[in-house]
Amino acid sequence: MGALRRCRSGGLAICASLICLVSVALQPPAALAAAGFTVAVDAVTGAGWSADGIELRILPGDGSGDIAASVRVERLRLPEPVGELRDVTLRCDTVAIATAEAGYRCERGRAVAQRSPLDPEAFSLAASYRPADGRLILELPDLPWQGMTLRVSAQLADDGWTAAVEGADLDAATVYGALAATASMTSTATTVPELEIAAGTAGFRLRARGEDGGAIRIDSRITLRDLSLANTSGSLAAEGLDVTLEAQARMPEPGGRLDYTATLTADAGEAYVEPAYFNLSASPLTLASTGGLDLAGGPVRIDSFLLDHRDVLAASGEAVLRRGEEPAVARADVEIADAVFPGVYTTYLQGFLTGTPLAKLETRGRVSGRVRLDDGGVAALDLALDDLHADDADGRLAIYGARGRIAWDVAPDAAPVSSRLVWDGGFVYDAGFGAGTAAFSSTPDRITLQETLRLPVLDGALVVETFAASGLSGDEPAVEFDARLEPVSLAGITTALGWPALPGKLSGELPLLSVSEGAVTLGGSLVARVFDGTARISELRIEQPFGANRRTSAEVALDNLDLALVTDVFTFGRITGRLDGAIRGLEMLQGRPVAFDARFYTPADDDSPHRISRRALSNISEIAGSGTAALSAGFLGLFEEFRYDSLGIRCVLEGDICSMSGVQPAQQGYYLVKGSGLPRIDVIGHSRQVNWPRLVAQITEALKSREVSTSPQSEERR
């Protein structure tokens, strides 16, 4: 009876149960067994299992002292995932009966069980039972389970139990199907993602040990080779993946908390965990971790992890992960020992930056430091940059040789932290800048420039005296800004734009900067002393500075330029006199003008000599679409220069159409040049609507013809 009690408490699996029954039945004197008999039992129940319609048959042995035995159970109900089995028969051809100390042994057993009449499953078994200490040992070398063959062994004793399951060279898809079926049957809080496994083999070794007091220890090793899989949406996928997982776990009580130590190694193939992409053949990774979780639900606690992703990232730390339909990081403290660019950018960062100006960078360099994450993303960071280079493939921005420290902490009670960044140079669109240093102090809601930032631009510099952005957690941060542009040679700017080198310098005060709805507006103005006059750019506003549809608007005013100096540079044909001008409502899309109202004209109070060369007249006439034949005909051909009263042009650009007008209306058209004296030449424009791209092409052509020709024929073609 003692044996029966132990059997009930230890009902582990089908075979264990049956061998238990046999051993109970064999408690009577061996002599009786030698003669053979049959015992029928209606039902036996235990914790979590029951057997109905049991028939035990003891058959006479072959005379060597051993006997044969068989047990048949009509219906055996075992805990999931095994479930209900019908017509279970177990036959042992060699049952050794020894003393109570040595116990009983079934050496060549054979069992047949079926889940349905059409699907019988037969397997071998060997078992022994020793009543003295209640030790039951079970070996199932070829147990069929969910279409696979597993090797199972178990040992039950008064002080606990051990069980081992092993499988080798299994089809990964079959293993996954079995696990998913098991998980759904046992309906624990663990959800198995829906995966389609296209290829791969799996092997595993699982050892479990039950201790006195109910604790369970599990020691496992799982290897997956050449695994190809994908989830339904394709956001999770792997190809040719080799993974090894070694894990040890301890459950103080079954189904309760689980503490683990695990090491995952992935050293071949590729994986995509949207939006991160891993090329593991090129950069294998090892992730070692310890932690725990509550099997009934709740977060996963990662007490420590150590990631070694070759040539990409070496990091360690601790974290809490939320489980559920959308697993997420609830909290993480990460110590980055070495983040190597471009590996860390292409693997971990680039996918998250899709659609931003930082999505197409070519990177190089290293970063180390600490990052703290919480529910809302990055909560704090303290990074050291080591010779970091980032270059946008679309040429929008670049920074070279960045080094220093960037720190930020968004905790409400965090003390201000300082950052200091040094760089060798970079670009913002076509504007290159040189080496500089920026020192910032930041609180959760405010970033302040701590010392004057001097950004070399060509032979001048942009000097930022004040920069402070506050309200960073909101949509529209308030910015305090005060900067000035130290004189920059126009020559450098204009040659960078592919224009002739202009004399003069550009400088200015930029006392304000505001950011609103993705647009940056600069207060103040940039002034260039140019051609003995001034050019002033103000109300500069840039929408989507780094977006695909960058829109820039500005107002430009030209005051009292010396036309002689202008035409010397542009080889447009010499003109003397003064010129005023204004470009109102200038709008540019990706650096090309799309709308403006531009006027250039002789100032009313200009009393300097007004002279215009035949070549200039010819060029103006071409632009206006007028003929120039008259200039070379007859006695006019004798004059190289003419006097003029005033000249001017106005173009209102909208779309592709420039609406043209001049200094004043003429009888048919408008005056572009109003002559004076004798011989008097007027240039009258007739085209009111001019195609802007064609006009630009004409002007470019006129400016390009640098070799000043003396031949009237080539000057006045028509």
Partner 1 sequence: MIRAKTRAMTHPAAWLLLSALVLAACVTINVYFPAAEAERAADRIIDEVRGTGGTEEQDTTSRLPPQALPARFAAAVADFLVPAAHAQDRPDFDASSPAKRALEQSLKQRFPQLKPYYDSGAIGLTARGTIEIRDRSLIPLNERNRVRQLVSEQNADWEALYREIARINGHPEWEDEIRQVFADRWIAKAESGWYYRDAGGQWRQK
Closer residue to partner 1 (CB): 269 or 492: 269
The two tokens of residue 616 are 């200039």
Per-residue contact string for residues 357-376; x = within reach of partner 1 by CB under 8 A: --xx----------------
Sort 558 into a burial class: Cβ within 10 Å, 0-12 / 13-18 / 19+: buried
In the complex with partner 1, which residue's Cβ is closer, 148 or 359? 359
Site string for partner 1, 671-710 (x = CB under 8 A): ---------------------xx-----------------
Contacts of 430 (CB under 8 A, 6+ apart): 496, 497
Among 549, 667, 668, 713, binds partner 1 (CB under 8 A): 549
CA dihedral 393, 398, 400, 405 (to 10 degrees): -120
DSSP, residue by residue, 376-402: TEEEEEEEEEEEEEEEETTSSEEEEEE
Q: Are 82 and 51 in contact (CB under 8 A)?
A: no
Q: Report the SS3 class of residue 504.
A: coil
Single out the residue of 36, 120, 144, 351 in contact with partner 1 (rule: CB under 8 A): 351
Which one of 251-259, 298-306, 544-552, 627-635 is the stretch in contact with partner 1 (CB under 8 A)?
544-552
Q: How far is the CB of 176 from partner 1 (least distance, A)?
A: 17
Binding mask 561-590 for partner 1 (x = CB under 8 A): ----------------------------xx
At its nearest, how many Å lie between partner 1 and the CB of residue 649? 20
Query: If you ran DSSP here, which 8-state letter would residue 499 be given?
Result: S
Compute the least distance from the CB of residue 238 to partner 1, in Å: 8
Q: How many CB atoms lie within 10 A of CB 17?
A: 24
Nearer Cβ to partner 1 (297/693):
693
- Is 99 an interacting residue with respect to partner 1 (CB under 8 A)? no
Q: Which lies closer to partner 1 via its Cβ, residue 290 or residue 346?
A: 346
According to DSSP, the residues that pair with 537 across neighbouring strands are 526, 556
27 vs 231 by CB, closer to partner 1 = 231
Reply yes or no: is the peptide bond before residue 342 cis, omega within 30 of 0: yes
How many CB atoms neighbour CB 163 within 10 A? 20
Q: Which of residues 229-288 bind partner 1 (CB under 8 A)?
A: 230, 233-235, 237-239, 270-272, 274-275, 277, 279
Name the DSSP class of 596. Answer: E
Residues between 458 and 497 with contacts to partner 1, criterion CB under 8 A: none
Residues 588-617 that bind partner 1 (CB under 8 A): 589-590, 592-594
Give me the half-sphere count of Cα atoms (radius 13 Å) on the Cβ side of residue 624. 26
**Binding range to partner 1, per CB under 8 A, among 29-37, 93-101, 185-193, 353-361:** 353-361
Q: Which stretch binds partner 1 (CB under 8 A): 21-29, 493-501, 520-528, 545-553?
A: 545-553
Which residue of 548, 629, 633, 708 would you call a contact of partner 1, by CB under 8 A? 548
CA distance 452 to 336: 31
State the minimum distance, in angstroms, from the CB of residue 698 to partner 1: 17
CA angle 351, 353, 355 (to 5 degrees): 110
> What tokens appear for 106 in the block?
């079934």
Q: Look up residue 143 and give its two tokens.
A: 């147990």
CB of 591 to partner 1, least distance (A): 10
The values of phi and psi at residue 296, to 5°, are -80, -5
Q: Which secondary-structure segment (H or E) carries 632?
A: helix 629-632
3-state helix, strand, coil in the chain (%, to 5): 15, 60, 25
Count of residues interacting with partner 1 (CB under 8 A): 32
- Taking the complex as a whole, the smallest distance from the CB of residue 593 to partner 1 amounts, in Å, to 7
Residues that bind partner 1 (CB under 8 A): 230, 233-235, 237-239, 270-272, 274-275, 277, 279, 350-351, 354-355, 359-360, 547-549, 589-590, 592-594, 655-656, 692-693
